[in-house]
Structure 1
């Protein structure tokens, strides 16, 4: 097992979930054996060879936590799948601050068929917990409950809500979260807001109260104080709200520890965008959402059905029998209806490949449908 630092970084494709259209599903097409780190989640996959990895966060089930004893969640819970079983190891990111002697407080919970097994790490580094894996399903980092709680590496995330033309105040949402919560997960729940990039790293202690300071002081912050808690989803609500005059172009924010009376996140200059909108911005459709939302029009207007079906068959995304059935039926509208059955059963990854082939074969149709969907209703 190599250290997590010796990895190749990749940015996954983000797909639409089959059951939850507003849930990120990450996909990584691994080209060869090695170690690969996701730039969005910091997960590291140890690969035996070429393969396609699909993963997403899921909610911690309180009923399953009962079987963990004196352990509590210490990171997001990931549902991981690999279509050809080429994953041999997994490195889960943690947010702990500890010495070598304290590293035995972390373990990994492996959930399968309603049961939970606790896996001891092969190694714990400053950033990751490493395990070997044979069976893929759901994995989550857990931590032995320690009293008093120790500080962890945390992040302060700042979002600006859309500003309407009648609005007199900018509203900033400030989130206090463990550092191993992916920013992409938080952004996906607040797609109408603008993420304001700033240095976010700090050290916070679970169970401790903090208050957010804003300069100039005349701008309002609510609540006055709030406790920092481990939050690994499914909901990421803002910890603080800041109300600033809409004409103001910048503010300074800092975070104070109520107990010790000191800054834990020194003042940061926050530049406000000043963007005006008449209504909340909408998230751009993913490739899979495009296919689902335009189902009726695609059935009527796609002419290159067999070329697309052949392309899907070449990648083993539809069966030989399905390809033959599509070829035998006429007209092309019936071909598309039949092909949609294979797309629905194949899930998001097959729909993404269908979209890619359609854009290659019929780019004008794709552009026309995108334009039509963006017009005001």
Structure 2
């Protein structure tokens, strides 16, 4: 590197350093950061000029670097703090409001009093304390995307992936680095390159390969022979996570995967001393290749202590049990070469620990408004297929139940007895019930039934194991109405009361209904996309970045699918606007799709 380039690099670093120290929040965190090199056994540089102390290409004077581009980056809290510094005051309040008021799947709410009048550093500390470092990173990315701050989310995700790469450098490499070295000699560079050549075969490199963050997708849903089946059209090689089931696929290239839940053969499992620890998924790979599968688990303390878990590979009446390739905080990872059915199992004699669980509430109103209604309370393992649960409840109960929005995550201990209490004189039956988690991957039966008097607006529920509270909530029953046509597709907040003279009718959203009914046809029959995208951008349904993402897909079908996925994720108003745009741009297509079938 010549002198001009070196001076330019130093100027850029000075700008970064200024941003990192512009507030007391940053300084507090950087004080903690300075301890990390010492923890790794890396000496701090002696006091001298900046140019003498910093190896060529270094990004921070306290951290070593090599010409191979390897450097020690900020840890997760520092990345989060740097990201929150990019937010305005109003944006920070919105971000904090999402943490305290908006229930996101798999993340408990942070109490409001813990984030009142807090700065960015305290917000990061609360997230890490509540969710752990990786959980804090995940929920931050979710909220940023929800706030349409996609560029900031992409930057954070990119920096986080870079951090993971650095974290997984073999330990002997880290120990061999010393910041007292003024420059990287040719010998050092050659040695590091040799280490990198061996890195590809090291377990730590494989761990990094497994831990890269997946891209989330929403699968197509098909009903064939009264069976719900998910379809994933993969656009490229990479890691992809299903937003409904939590399954993660590592794809070797563009492809198509069909998958659905099927029933366990409990007799075969019992013969081998096993029981279910998750749903059993049947897979068909129609195109392309899946080289790795990740199944979500419920264990709270995964790792070496989870040797009682295995993956069942089921083909007809033959079952084999595979040892996990790796266990992360959320998933069991296996490498695969072909498909049939896979599911998590647990040894029957496995030690009993608390697991991640869900409390789901289904409200069934009475036919007579003067009579009591019933609140069905279900205790389930967290890795159930939630859409399957809702669909099965709707099938059994004639579309009469409403899934109630509530904080559902908790920790429950299998085979332990729980009781449910209320704030009033509501009758609860039974008084106690055992949490039988391995049978709840197919049955989805009611654990407790709460009988509510007519016109009750709320019910405070508390779930206890002996005297210890496992879960509680305050449910506003009057704020919901059921989507009777597609009850498993979720619930909507009631918007406003209708005038007294107008008979009650559930609110409808033409866009939602249109896309739901005709999604398969739209995927292949949408006309020229540029005018559609232009109109959607004008109405702020899409932004320029999202439009470019749609256009970048390799085939027409994938472009259409990407557009439909984006619109559906943005909710009812966006879908209604899409419907209006399509009626304007391609009225004959809409007319043909909507004409009644004979």
Q: In structure 2, how many angstroms separate the alpha carbons of the residues matched to 1:239 and 1:275? A: 22
Picking from 182, 186, 189, the partner of 2:385 is 182
Q: Conserved in 1, the CA contact under 8 Å of 2:364 and 2:375?
A: yes
Instruction: Report the equivalent of 2:468.
Output: 262
Deviations 1:17-58 (A, max 9, x none): x33x1x321111111110001111100011011111111100
Q: Rate the CA distance shift 1:152–1:276 in 2: closer, same or farther, 3 A.
A: closer
Q: Rate the CA distance shift 1:212–1:290 in 2: closer, same or farther, 3 A.
A: same
- Asked if residue 14 in structure 1 is aligned to residue 221 in structure 2, the reply is yes
Instruction: Report the equivalent of 2:591.
Output: 364
Q: Rate the CA distance shift 1:11–1:162 in 2: closer, same or farther, 3 A.
A: farther
Matches within 5 A, 1:249-328: 249-258=457-466, 261-265=467-471, 267-273=472-478, 281-283=484-486
78-87 vs 173-182, which deviates more? 78-87
Q: Which has the higher contact order (CA 8 A, sep 6+)?
A: 1
Q: In structure 1, how many angstroms separate the alpha carbons of the residues matched to 2:211 and 2:476? A: 35
Instruction: Report the equivalent of 1:51.
Output: 255
- Asked if residue 164 in structure 1 is aligned to residue 367 in structure 2, the reply is yes
Instruction: Report the equivalent of 2:356.
Output: 153
Secondary structure at the counterpart of residue 210 of structure 2: coil
Instruction: Report the equivalent of 2:448.
Output: 240
Q: In structure 2, how many angstroms separate the alpha carbons of the residues matched to 1:182 and 1:14? A: 13
Could you tell me how far 1:213 is from its partner in structure 2? Answer: 1.1
Q: Which runs of 5+ in 2 are unaligned?
A: 1-205, 490-512, 526-585
Q: Which has the larger radius of gyration?
A: 2
Q: In structure 2, how many angstroms separate the alpha carbons of the residues matched to 1:262 and 1:198? A: 20
When normalised by structure 1's length, the TM-score is 0.71
Deviations 1:326-345 (A, max 9, x none): xxxxxxxxxxxxxxxxxxxx
Q: Conserved in 1, the CA contact under 8 Å of 2:254 and 2:288?
A: no
RMSD of aligned Cα (Å) = 2.9
Secondary structure at the counterpart of residue 254 of structure 1: strand
- Asked if residue 136 in structure 1 is aligned to residue 339 in structure 2, the reply is yes
Could you tell me how far 1:167 is from its partner in structure 2? Answer: 4.6
Instruction: Report the equivalent of 1:81.
Output: 284
Query: Going by fraction, where is strand more abundant, 1 or 2?
Result: 1
Picking from 429, 433, 436, the partner of 1:226 is 433
Secondary structure at the counterpart of residue 475 of structure 2: strand
Picking from 419, 423, 427, the partner of 1:215 is 423
Deviations 1:74-124 (A, max 9, x none): 110000111014111100000012253312221101011321111111100
Q: In structure 1, how many angstroms separate the alpha carbons of the residues matched to 2:260 and 2:454? A: 37
Q: In structure 1, how many angstroms separate the alpha carbons of the residues matched to 2:212 and 2:370? A: 47
Picking from 14, 22, 28, the partner of 2:232 is 28
Q: In structure 2, how many angstroms separate the alpha carbons of the residues matched to 1:66 and 1:251? A: 41
Instruction: Report the equivalent of 1:298.
Output: none
Query: Going by fraction, where is helix more abundant, 1 or 2?
Result: 2
Q: Conserved in 2, the CA contact under 8 Å of 1:165 and 1:276?
A: no
Secondary structure at the counterpart of residue 206 of structure 1: coil
Deviations 1:239-288 (A, max 9, x none): 11111123111111110113xx21111x31111036689xx93438999x
Aligned residue-pair number:
297
Q: Conserved in 1, the CA contact under 8 Å of 2:300 and 2:355?
A: yes
Q: In structure 2, how many angstroms separate the alpha carbons of the residues matched to 1:89 and 1:173? A: 38
Q: In structure 2, how many angstroms separate the alpha carbons of the residues matched to 1:99 and 1:36? A: 22
Secondary structure at the counterpart of residue 190 of structure 1: helix
Instruction: Report the equivalent of 2:62.
Output: none
